[in-house]
Amino acid sequence: MITIGRRIEVRGIVQGVGFRPWIYKLAHEGGVTGRVRNDAGGVIIDAFGSEPALEGFARTLIEAPPPAAEIADVRWRDIPPELLDTFTIASSASSEELRVSIPPDLATCSECLAEIFDPADRRYRYPFTNCTHCGPRFTIATGVPYDRAATTMTRFTMCEACQREYDDPLNRRFHAQPNACPVCGPQLTLVTRHGRVVECEDPIDGAAAAIGQGAIIAIKGLGGFHLACAATDDATVNRLRQLKRRDEKPFAVMVADLRAAERLAILTDEERALLTSAIRPIVLARPRPHSWLSQMVAPDAPLVGLMLAYTPLHHLLLRDISEPVVMTSGNVSDEPLAYRNDDAMTRLASMADYFLLHDRDIEAFCDDSVTRVIAGAPVLLRRSRGYVPRPVRILPPFAQPVLAAGALLKNTFCIGLGDCAYPGPHIGDLENVAVYDAYVAATERLTRFLRIEPRVIAHDLHPDYLSTRYALSRPEPLKIGVQHHHAHIASVMAEHALKGPVIGVAYDGSGYGTDGSAWGGEILLAHLDRFERIATLRPIRLAGGDAAIREPWRVAVALLLDAFGEVPASLGARFGGVTRQQIAAVTQLVESGSHAPAAHGAGRYFDGIAALVLGRARSAFEGQLALAWNGVADPRDTGGYPFVIDHSSKPWSIDLRLMVIAIVEDITAGLHASRIAARFHNTLVEAAALAVESAASAHGDRPVALSGGCFQNPLLAEGLIARLSPRFDVHLNRRVPPGDGGIALGQAVVAAAVAKGM
For 548-576, what is the HEC assignment? HHHCCHHHHHHHHHHHHCCCCHHHCCCCC
The stretch among 153-161, 477-485, 543-551, 656-664 that binds Zn ion (CB under 5 A) is 153-161
CB of 706 to Fe ion, least distance (A): 13
Q: Between 389 and 601, whose beta carbon lies closer to Fe ion?
A: 601
Q: Between 67 and 601, whose beta carbon lies closer to Fe ion?
A: 601
Closest among 344, 339, 320 to 211, alpha carbons compared? 320
Residue 74 CA to its chain's centroid (Å): 29
CB of 77 to Fe ion, least distance (A): 46
Q: Between 381 and 583, whose beta carbon lies closer to Fe ion?
A: 381
Task: Output the residue with the shortest Cβ distance to Fe ion.
Answer: 508
> Using CB distances below 5 to 8 A depending on partner kind, what does residue 715 bind out of Fe ion, Zn ion, none?
none
> Using CB distances below 5 to 8 A depending on partner kind, what does residue 183 bind out of Zn ion, Fe ion, none?
Zn ion
Binding mask 84-123 toward Zn ion (x if CB under 5 A, else -) reads: -------------------------x--x-----------
State which of residues 508, 522, 622, 666 lies at the interface with Fe ion (CB under 5 A).
508
Is residue 162 a contact residue for Zn ion (CB under 5 A)?
yes
CB of 515 to Fe ion, least distance (A): 17
Q: Between 112 and 696, whose beta carbon lies closer to Zn ion?
A: 112
* C-beta atoms surrounding 642 within 10 Å: 12
How many angstroms separate the CA atoms of 210 and 233, rounded? 13
Closest among 348, 263, 269, 335 to 306, alpha carbons compared? 263
The stretch among 162-170, 224-232, 308-316, 639-647 that binds Zn ion (CB under 5 A) is 162-170
- The amino acid occupying position 400 is Q
Give, in degrees to the nearest 5, the angle at Cα 127 between 123 and 128. 85
Inter-axis angle of helices 580-592 and 553-564, nearest 10? 60
Burial of residue 407 (CB within 10 Å: 0-12, 13-18, 19+) is buried
CB of 460 to Fe ion, least distance (A): 9
The stretch among 29-37, 96-104, 502-510, 530-538 that binds Fe ion (CB under 5 A) is 502-510
> Using CB distances below 5 to 8 A depending on partner kind, what does residue 720 bind out of Fe ion, Zn ion, none?
none
CB of 506 to Fe ion, least distance (A): 7
> Using CB distances below 5 to 8 A depending on partner kind, what does residue 735 bind out of Fe ion, Zn ion, none?
none
State which of residues 54, 181, 219, 321 lies at the interface with Zn ion (CB under 5 A).
181
CB of 254 to Zn ion, least distance (A): 19
Is residue 740 a contact residue for Fe ion (CB under 5 A)?
yes
Is the separation of the CB atoms in 336 and 438 below 8 Å?
Answer: yes
* CB neighbour list of residue 397: distance below 8 Å, 6 or more residues apart: 418, 419
Is residue 32 a contact residue for Zn ion (CB under 5 A)?
no
Q: Which residues on neighbouring strands pair with residue 285, listed in sequence order?
A: 304
How many angstroms separate the CA atoms of 383 and 391, rounded? 12
How many angstroms separate the CA atoms of 637 and 127, rounded? 51
Q: Between 320 and 607, whose beta carbon lies closer to Fe ion?
A: 607
Neighbouring C-alpha atoms within 13 Å toward the C-beta of 186: 25
Closest among 39, 42, 41, 53 to 6, alpha carbons compared? 53
- The amino acid occupying position 219 is I
Is residue 403 a contact residue for Zn ion (CB under 5 A)?
no
Is residue 363 a contact residue for Fe ion (CB under 5 A)?
no
Strands 402-404 and 456-460: parallel
Q: Between 109 and 715, whose beta carbon lies closer to Zn ion?
A: 109
Q: Between 443 and 491, whose beta carbon lies closer to Fe ion?
A: 491
Contact residues for Fe ion, defined by CB under 5 A: 508, 511, 740
Contact residues for Zn ion, defined by CB under 5 A: 109, 112, 131, 133-134, 159, 162, 181, 183-184
